[in-house]
Structure 1
Amino acid sequence: MASRSTRSETPASPTRVRRVGLLAGPLAAGALLLIPSGLHAVPGMDHRPAAAAAVAAWMALWWFTEAVPMAWTALLPLVLFPALGVFGTGGIPASLGRAALPYVDPYIFLFLGGMALGAALEQWHLHRRIALLIMRAIGTAPQRLLLGMLVATASVSLWISNTATAVMMVPIGMALIAQLEASEGRRLEHFGAALMLGVAYAANVGGIGTKIGSPTNSVFAGVASRRLATEVGFLEYMAAALPFVVLFVPLIWWVLWRTGRRDALGPGKGVDVIQRELSALGPLSAGEKVVGTVFLVAALLWMGGDFLRPALASWVASAFGGFKLLGKHYEAGVALLSAGTLVLLGRLSLRALARVPWDTLLLLGGGFALAAGIEGGGLSTYMAARLEGLESLGPTAQYGAVALSTVLLSAVASNTATVNVLLNVLPGSLPLLAVSTFASSCDFALPAGTPPNAIVFGSGYVRLPTMMKVGLPLDLLAAALLTLYGLVWVRFVLG
C-alpha cells in the first residue's frame, strides 16, 4: 500500500478506519448473537445460523477494514466456531476438527506449489526474460510498447503473484519511460501514467487466467468443491477464465492509449532498453533451463489432468485402500512434486521460498473455514431463502448485478476478502460464482483493493485523480463485459 502521513488523521484515514473496524467486528457479532431475528428461528437449526452469521460479520468487517493482519482474521473460525457451537452436536473436539480441516484443503497445497514454482521463476529471472521477449516481439513503437507491456505483464501474472509481477515490471517500465524522455527531450506525463497504470491493470487481470494466478481463483475452486460438490479442473478453469483475459487486455490498451497518445510521441528508442535488459540477463543459464522445463511439464500435467487422472485414480484406489483421487488432489500433487523436484535439484533455494507470502495460505484456509461454517451452521440455507429475489431475476440481470456489485466492492476491499464473503452468500450457481471471482480482480479506480494499484503510485507518474479518471470507465467496462461473457461463455463452459 502507498504510505500516508499519520500526523493529521481524518475520519477517513486508514488508521481511523482500522480502529473503527477493530471494534465494529466483535460488536456486530455480538448484536447478531444477542438480538432476536429470523436467524434464531431457522427450523432445526436453533442458534447456529446466527452464530455462523456472527463469525462471518466479524471476519468480513476485519477483512474489509484491515483492522488486524488478514491472516490473523482468518484464524477466527478455529476459536469461534467450536466456542459458539456452529457445527452442532459432537462436542468441542469434533467441532475443532471440522473447523481445522479446511486449513489443509488440497487447494491450499495447489496454491503453495504454484507459489513455489513462481519463486523459482523469480530466483532465476526467467519471468523477466519471458516478459522482455514478449515486448520485443510485439514492437517498440509507442502504441505497441504499451500493448507489449500489457501483454507481457498479464502473461507473467498468469503464473506468479500479481504483486511480484508488478514489482518486476515497474522498473522495466520506468527504464522505458526514461529512454523515451531522453529521446524526446521532455517529460512524458501522459504516456508515463498510461504505462504505469498498464502494469497495475494487467497484473490484476492476468491473474484471472489460471487457477494459480491469484488467491481468489483458489477460493473459487475451494468453494465450488465444498459448497457445490463440484471439482473444476485446471484446464476447465482456464477455458472459462483465460478468454476473458484475452478479450479485456486490448480494451485496457484502448482506454490507456487514449491517455498515452496525448504526449504525441515519436518512434522512440524503447528497443534499446529492451535489448540492454536482455543482454544484462546473458545467455539462457542451466538453472533457467531446468526451471523452465519443470514448469512446462507441470503446466502440461495440470492441463492434461482430466485425461491422465482417471487411470491414476484407479491405481491410487487399489494401492491406498479405495482412496478417491479427486481433481484437487491430483493438481496439488503435481504442484508439490514439481516444487520438490526443483528443491532437490538445487534450483529452488530456501531464500527464494522464504519470500513466498505464507500468510496467504492462512487467508485461503480462513476463507474455506468460513464457507464450511456457513454451510454447516445452516446460514447458507437461510441466505438462499433471502436471495430468492436475485434468483428469480433473468440471467442478464443476475450476471449484471453480481459483476457490478463485485467490482464496486473490490474497489474498497481486497479482492481476496471480497470473494471470501460474496462466494458464500451468492446463489449456488457455478457460472455466477465464477463471474464474481473474475470481477473481484477488476479493480482499476482506487489503490485500496490490490497491491499492484498501490505499487505504481511510487513511480511518480500516477496520481489518484488520474487513476480514477481512467479506472472508473474500465470498472464499468469490466462489469459490462463480464455480464455478456458470463451469459455467452461461462455458462457454456461451467454450466
Structure 2
Amino acid sequence: MVLFRKLNSKMGFLRQAGRVAWAYRATLIIILVPTLASPLLAQHSGPAKGGWVVIVMAAYWITEALPLAVTSLLPMILFPLLGILDMDDVTRNYFKDTVVLFFGSMVMAVTIEERNVHKRIALGTLLIMGSKPRWLMLGFMISTAFLSMWISNTATTAMMVPIAHAIVIQIIKDRKMLKSSKPSLMVTGVKSDLDDQIDERIYGDDPGITFANWFFFMLPATIISLFICWVWLQSYFLDRSCFVWFRDCNCCKEQSEDGKAAHDLIRREYKALGGVTFGEFATLVHFAFLIILWLFRKSSFIPNFDGWTQLFLVPEYINDATVAMIIAISLFIFPSRMPWIFRKMFGKTDPGEEPGPMHPLLTWKTAQLKIPWNIVLLLGGGFALANGCEESGLSDWLADKFSALSGIPSWSLVFILTIVLCIFTEFTSNVATTTIFLPICAALAESLCVNPLYLMIPVTLACTYAYMLPAATPPNAIVFSFETVSIPDMVKAGALLNVVGILMANLLINSMGQVVYDVFTYPSWAPDDKCGV
C-alpha cells in the first residue's frame, strides 16, 4: 500500500510536470533547441555554423514556437554574428524580385476581394452548373480551384464554404429534417493563409520558370486531379453508383426537387450582388491584362513571337514581378467609379453632384489591412537561409554527403521524397516545410548531377498536399469548424487524394517536366564543378 502511494505520488508529480512543460512548451523550445545544438558552434567551421542556424530555424518554424515571420528575421542576427554574411548581404534577400512579385499579386487579389468580383464569379459558375448534387459539387470545385489560382486558399475557402453550407442547410430545411433560420453566408475572424505562397526559386531567374510556362506545366495535372477528386468525393459522400456516368445516382433522384431550392438560394445571392459596377468591371479588366501580360511576356509557345518585352530596350530586364507592379500601381490610381465628367456626359450624375476626388480601386489603407505582410518576411527569411547555407559551405557539405545516394535511381528518390514530405506537411506549415527542404533538395540534386528542378518541383507540390487533418492548413480548419465533416471523414477522403497527388507529382515531373523544363538534362545555371557541364 505504501509502495502504491509512493508510485501514485510520483505519477502525480510527473503529470503535473508534464502540464507545466506543455504550458511553457514554446519557451522551452526557444531555449533548449539552440542550447542542445550548440556543440556545432564549438567546431568553428562554416558548415557547422550554417547547420546550427538551419536546425534552430527549422525547429522554430515547424513547432511555431515563434511566429513564422519572427523566425524569418533570425538570419539578420545570426549570420552577421557568426561571421557567415554581413548585414547588407543578408537584407538583400528580403526584397528580391520574387517578394515584389508576391506583393503585386496580392494587391490584385485584395482588389478582387474588395470589389466582390470573386463572389460574382463563384455564384455565376454555380448558376451555370445546375442544381443536382453531382453538378453542384463540380461547380463548387471549379470555381474554388479557379479563384484559388489568384487569391489565397484561405480567402477562397472562407467565402465558398459558407455558401456550400447554406445550400445544404436549405435542402435539409425543405425536406423538413431541420428547422432553422436562414444561415449567414459570412465568416469573420479568418487569419491570413501563409501556406499559399511557395517559391522554389533558389537559383533566381536562371531556371527560366515564368508564369506562362508554369501555367502550361501545371494545367493538365490540375484538370486531371480535379476530375479524379470530383469522382472520388461523389463516391464517398454521395452514392457509390455516382461512378455510373450516364444515369443519376439514387441521391440525385431523391433530391431532384431539393435541387430547385438550392438553385433558388444561389440565384437570390447572385441577385443580391446587383448589377456589375464600374469598379467590378475595371477590376476584371486589370485582372485580364495581368494574365495576358504574364502569359505573353515570353511566348515560346507561339512561333515567330518572342513576347511583348521585345518592344523595349532591354527585354531581359522585364520579368513577372515588373508586370505585377505595373498592374498593382494602376489599381491604386484607377478610379472605382466612372469619372464625374463622363457620368455628366451620359446623364448619370446624382442631382446636385459636383466634381470631386475619386477613390481608387484599392486604397493604401485597405492594402495595409489585408495584404499578409508577414509572408514578405517569410519569403525573405527563406532566401536568406538558403544564401547563408551556400556562403557557410553547408550546401557543399550536404552535397558531398548526399553523393552516397548516387546509386539510387533519381525517379525513385523523387518518389520517396514526395511521400515523406506529403506526410510531413500534414503536421507542419506548408511554407515552413518547403523553405526548409528545398535548399536540401537543391544540394542533393547537385551532388547527384541531377537537374535541381527534377527534385525541387515535385517536392514543392508534395508540400501542398495537406488534405487529411484540420490543423494541416487553414482551409481545412475552416471546413472542420462548421462541424459537418468529422476528422475520420477528412482522413479517409484526404488519404486517397494524397495518394493521387503523389502519383500526379511523379508523373508530371517525368512527362511535362521534360517537355517544359528539360529536367533530364543537367542545366548550365547549376554548379558544374562535379558534373562536368
- SS in structure 1 of the partner of residue 204 of structure 2: helix
CA–CA separation in structure 1 for the residues paired with 2:211 and 2:107: 18
Q: Which residue of 1 aligns with 2:268?
A: 276
CA–CA separation in structure 1 for the residues paired with 2:466 and 2:91: 32
1:214 aligns with 2:203: no
Q: Which residue of 2 aligns with 1:240?
A: 217
CA–CA separation in structure 2 for the residues paired with 1:385 and 1:182: 65
Q: Which residue of 1 aligns with 2:392?
A: 377
CA–CA separation in structure 1 for the residues paired with 2:17 and 2:377: 31
- Deviation track 1:353-374 (CA, whole Å, cap 9, x = no partner) reads 1211111111011011111111
What pairs up with 1:453-472 in 2 under 5 angstroms?
Answer: 453-472=476-495
TM-score by length of 2: 0.76
Q: Which residue of 2 aligns with 1:195?
A: none
Contact 1:113 1:339 in 2 (8 A): yes
CA–CA separation in structure 2 for the residues paired with 1:445 and 1:239: 28
The residue identity in structure 2 corresponding to 1:270 is A
- SS in structure 1 of the partner of residue 399 of structure 2: helix
Unpaired segments of 5 or more residues in structure 2? 1-15, 180-192, 240-249, 300-304, 335-359, 446-451, 520-533
Cα deviation, residue 62, structure 1: 0.5
TM-score by length of 1: 0.82
Which of 368, 374, 386 in structure 2 is aligned with 1:359? Answer: 374
Structure with the greater alpha carbon radius of gyration = 2
Which of 127, 139, 160 in structure 1 is aligned with 2:151? Answer: 160
1:415 aligns with 2:430: yes
Aligned CA RMSD, in angstroms, stands at: 2.7
Cα deviation, residue 395, structure 1: 3.5
Cα deviation, residue 309, structure 1: 7.8
Which of 151, 157, 160 in structure 1 is aligned with 2:142? Answer: 151
Q: Which residue of 2 aligns with 1:475?
A: 498
Cα deviation, residue 485, structure 1: 2.1
CA–CA separation in structure 1 for the residues paired with 2:321 and 2:283: 18
Q: Which residue of 2 aligns with 1:176?
A: 167
Cα deviation, residue 16, structure 1: 5.9
What pairs up with 1:32-431 in 2 under 5 angstroms?
Answer: 32-34=40-42, 36=43, 47-87=45-85, 95-186=86-177, 214-216=196-198, 219-220=199-200, 222-225=201-204, 229-261=206-238, 264=251, 265-267=254-256, 268=259, 269-307=261-299, 312=309, 315-317=312-314, 325-326=316-317, 329-345=318-334, 346-353=360-367, 354-426=369-441, 427-428=444-445, 429-431=452-454
Contact 2:129 2:139 in 1 (8 A): yes
The residue identity in structure 2 corresponding to 1:277 is E
CA–CA separation in structure 2 for the residues paired with 1:243 and 1:9: 53
CA–CA separation in structure 2 for the residues paired with 1:16 and 1:472: 33
- Deviation track 1:12-55 (CA, whole Å, cap 9, x = no partner) reads 99866534432343235423323x5xxx7xxxxxx111111111
Report which of the two has the higher share of helix. Answer: 1
- Deviation track 1:258-301 (CA, whole Å, cap 9, x = no partner) reads 23215935122321122111101111110001010011101110
Distance 1:424 1:28, change over 3 A: farther
Structure having greater relative contact order (Cα 8 Å, sep ≥ 6): 1
CA–CA separation in structure 1 for the residues paired with 2:71 and 2:412: 33
CA–CA separation in structure 2 for the residues paired with 1:352 and 1:303: 28
Contact 1:180 1:270 in 2 (8 A): yes
CA–CA separation in structure 1 for the residues paired with 2:73 and 2:329: 28
Q: Which residue of 1 aligns with 2:531?
A: none
Q: Percent identity?
A: 30
483-492 or 447-456, which deviates more: 483-492
CA–CA separation in structure 2 for the residues paired with 1:391 and 1:135: 51
What number of residue pairs does the alignment pair up? 437
